[in-house]
Structure formats: C-alpha cells, structure tokens
Structure 1
Amino acid sequence: MILPAEFYDRDPRQVAVDLLGCVLVHDSSEGRASGVIVETEAYRPDDPACHAYNGPTLRNSSIFGPPGTAYVYLSYGMHVLLNAVCGAEGVGSPVLIRALRPLEGVDLMRYRRGRGSNLAGGPGRLTQALGVSLEYDGASLVEGPLFISWGESAGGEIVATTRVGISRGAELPWRYLLHGEESVSVKPKVIARRNLQRRWGRVRDRSARRARPA
C-alpha cells in the first residue's frame, strides 16, 4: 500500500518513527530500485536546523507544500537529499530519509553508485543509488514514480538518538533508527529513548475494523 497523504499529516517525529520499515521505491526508465527505510531524522519549523525556520524562500518553497510532498535539495553543493513533507500545508515540517537497506534493483544501485557495498547508508548515497535527482523537488510521494509503501514490520528495535551533520539543534534526539542495523549512516553514540512504537499500523487496523460490515 502506497502511503496516503494523511500518513504524513502529523507531527514529523511520529512520522519519522512510522517510516522505519517502510519501503522507498523509485520506478525509472532504467528500472525499479527500492530499499527498506532504516533511519530517519525529523525537523520542525521552530527548530533552528530546519530549512523552514526563517520562512519561505525560492529554494525551500517545497518544504511548505502539502503533506506527502518531496522536498529535495542539494547539501554542501554535492549531495542530493530527500525529505518527506509532514504536517499541514504551509507549516514546513520535513522528515529526512537517512538510510535504506537495499531491496530491489541492487545491481542498478551498484551501477549508479560505482561500488558494491554501502549502497544506501546515508542520505546522499541513497538518492544516488535510487536515481533521485533535484527534479523531484516538489513532486508527490503519494502518486508518481517516487513513492513510499507501508511495511508491516520495522524489523528491529526502534531507538531515538541525536541528529548528525548539522551545526544547530544537533542535541535534539530526533534521529530514529533500527538498533543494530548495519545500513544506518552513523551508529548512535547516545540512545535517548528505546523501544519506540509505530502507530500508523494500529490506527489503520482500527479504521479497517470500524469500516468492516457487521
């Protein structure tokens, strides 16, 4: 099931947890490449590290789009990073997809990366492996060739740790990952919270039961 817009219309910290175990898919002219999301990072508009912190600009306009929009930008002039926009339109609360466990199209991912290992263990590596370019900035993750499908199991213990690669707000424990997963970008030095639970699956199951005819 492709995640609907309402999945993203929540606090990015919970969305970041619920995305673990889901599958990021890119269908391109070269073929399909996908991976299980094993690491995410949440940002809120009142967070100094968030690109929405100082308001809208031409560069960050997509971050203020409707829930389920892709916010794609160039980091340090070289790394393409993919975010999923969360919350209501105009808010500016993204979740950065930080690492994947390769699933489909591994040979294609190796070709794009020019190497046989560490294909998607980092936000810049995963976009290169999946062939995600800046052209996807502002695209819908709900419909189109780039989307995220629900995963029934995260496949490990979900923990919260501090964020990396930023100069402000790095102390906030808004990076979430599967503990012990080899594909994460940076192993956690400090674990702030353990055994976090995904909520979307339970909400979806309850909704399905209510809709089921007696």
Structure 2
Amino acid sequence: MSATNPFNREPNPLPSAFFQRDSRELATCLLGKVIRHFHQGLWLSARIIETEAYRRDEKGSHASLGLTHSRRALFMEAGTLYMYYARGGDSLNISAAGEGDGVLIKSGYPVVDEISGPESLELMRRLNPAASGELRETRRLCNGQTLLCRSLHLKVPEWNAQQLDPARLIIDDDGYRPEQIIQTTRLGIPLGRDEHLPYRFVDQAYAPFCTRNPLGRTRREGHDYHLFHAVPDAWKTC
C-alpha cells in the first residue's frame, strides 16, 4: 500500500467548499466524518464524534484575542488547519466561513476498515500508550483533543496553517451519518468567557467515548443538553 494509491475503495475526501459554512453548522456536519493521516506507511483513522464551534465575536474563541502568527490559520480560508498546544499536547481545529471562526475536533473513535486495517489500529495504540506505559484501550485512544492528535500523529509544527493533503491527510466521507446529535455547552471555558453558549456537539451513539459524556446520570435533557434527530434532508450538503 503506497501513499499515492493506498485505498482498496475510492475515498471521498471533503471538498474545500464543504468548510465554507457557519462554524456551528460545520461542527455538526463534521460529526461522523473520518480523519485519515498517512504515517509510517499506514493510514491512521478516527471517526469524528465530538466537536466544538467557535466564533470570533464570542470571548471563548482564540480569534477574539486578535490575529497573531500562531493563530493566523483562523483568519485564512475555510478548511485551513489550526493547531495549537493544549495541556502539553497537540490540538486540531479547522477554520470555517467567517474570519476568525473555526471548529475544534474534540474527540474521535478509531476506525478499522478496508483503508485502515488492524495494523493501523495497533500503530495508533503504540503511538498513544497509557500513562503506565501499557497499551491504551481502543475506546480510550481518541477521547479528547490531545489524545486524538497523539493517536493520529498530528503535530503542530507540521500542520498548523496548512491545508488538507490528498496524499497525507484527508477528512473522508464514508457515508456514515449520526442518527441523533447532542448539543450542549463547551468544556473548559473559563467563567465570564461565554461559557454558557451551547456550541458543543456529540454523536449520541458515541457519547460514552467522548471527552466527557454529556448524558450523565444527573444531567437532564432540555436543561443540560438538547437532543435532536439528524433529518436526512438536512444532511444533504453534509
């Protein structure tokens, strides 16, 4: 399997026009898509199960702090990768329509299919061991923004302010669509920085495997989160 023609099926990478939408819409449309990174001769893959939308005009966004060299990707064309360090690890974001707006890829779930076989999953596990040094459980490989990047070997110096690359890094549409989506508030937003905004989105089927399950026993639908069905017609452009 080569980097130039590695697929046993025809991939369906998202076109650049896909990212030309409001960050909140983009955050929902990215749910279910598959990030694939070619590393050490293998395609490492994870399905996007949790996202957060950010807008320049709200205080929780990096762009609200102004344009800098490290944040320049958020002010570039939609679909530009914005990577930064979070809690000592790499974090992946994608710019949306609207200068300064973007989406944080918060969590994923490892994919094993005709493109990424069991050997790809084993490499992901070696790249992201548990703190004890033992291999991490598959379901815990990508449940957090830094764990996702570590498992896929995505690094700030290589990918910040870059475009997706058909030979090395794609977001693939394999036809999967979430049946229900959870909408709730984002995680880790400091008090006074628009922490109340419901800009976090989770594929309900994968809720136990995201950063923090929004369907906890003490949480109430309609109060702590909202659940909505993904109507097929609404997903035609996703």
TM-score (norm 1): 0.87
Taking structure 1 as reference, are residues 141 and 197 closer, same or farther at Cα in structure 2, changes over 3 Å only?
Answer: farther
Match of 2:108 among 86, 100, 103: 100
Structure 2 distance, partners of 1:133, 1:119, is 16
Structure 1 distance, partners of 2:86, 2:233, is 31
Q: Deviations over 1:140-197 (max 9, x none)?
A: 1264512211242224411101100221222111100012423211111421342255
**Helix, strand or coil at the partner of 2:63:** coil
- 1:51 to 2:70 alignment: no
- 1:178 to 2:203 alignment: yes
The one-letter code sitting in structure 2 at the alignment partner of 1:122 is: G
Match of 2:91 among 81, 88, 99: 81
Taking structure 1 as reference, are residues 3 and 200 closer, same or farther at Cα in structure 2, changes over 3 Å only?
Answer: farther
Taking structure 1 as reference, are residues 45 and 156 closer, same or farther at Cα in structure 2, changes over 3 Å only?
Answer: same
Q: Is the 8 A contact 1:17 1:176 kept in 2?
A: yes
Counterpart residue number, 1:163: 186
- 1:202 to 2:236 alignment: yes
The one-letter code sitting in structure 1 at the alignment partner of 2:146 is: G
Could you list the runs of 5+ residues in structure 2 that have no partner in the other structure?
1-11, 130-134
Q: Mapping of 1:1-214 within 5 angstroms? A: 1-76=12-87, 78-88=88-98, 91-103=99-111, 104=116, 105-114=120-129, 115-117=135-137, 118-134=140-156, 135-141=158-164, 143-167=166-190, 168-181=193-206, 182-188=208-214, 189=219, 190-197=224-231, 201-203=235-237
Q: Runs ≥4 in structure 1, deviation > 3 angstroms? A: 196-201
Paired residues in the alignment total 201
Could you list the runs of 5+ residues in structure 1 that have no partner in the other structure?
205-214
TM-score (norm 2): 0.78
The one-letter code sitting in structure 1 at the alignment partner of 2:141 is: L
Structure 1 distance, partners of 2:38, 2:181, is 28
Q: Indicate the percent of aligned positions where both proteins have the same amino acid.
A: 29
Structure 2 distance, partners of 1:132, 1:110, is 14
Structure 1 distance, partners of 2:184, 2:83, is 23
Greater strand proportion: 1
**Helix, strand or coil at the partner of 1:92:** coil
Shift of 1:198: 7.1
Q: Is the 8 A contact 1:154 1:178 kept in 2?
A: no
**Helix, strand or coil at the partner of 1:203:** coil
Counterpart residue number, 2:5: none
**Helix, strand or coil at the partner of 2:183:** strand
Structure 2 distance, partners of 1:40, 1:172, is 14
Q: Is the 8 A contact 1:17 1:196 kept in 2?
A: no
**Helix, strand or coil at the partner of 2:61:** coil
Q: Is the 8 A contact 2:110 2:141 kept in 1?
A: yes
The one-letter code sitting in structure 1 at the alignment partner of 2:237 is: V
Greater Cα offset, 129-138 or 22-31: 22-31
The one-letter code sitting in structure 1 at the alignment partner of 2:92 is: L
**Structural RMSD (CA):** 1.9
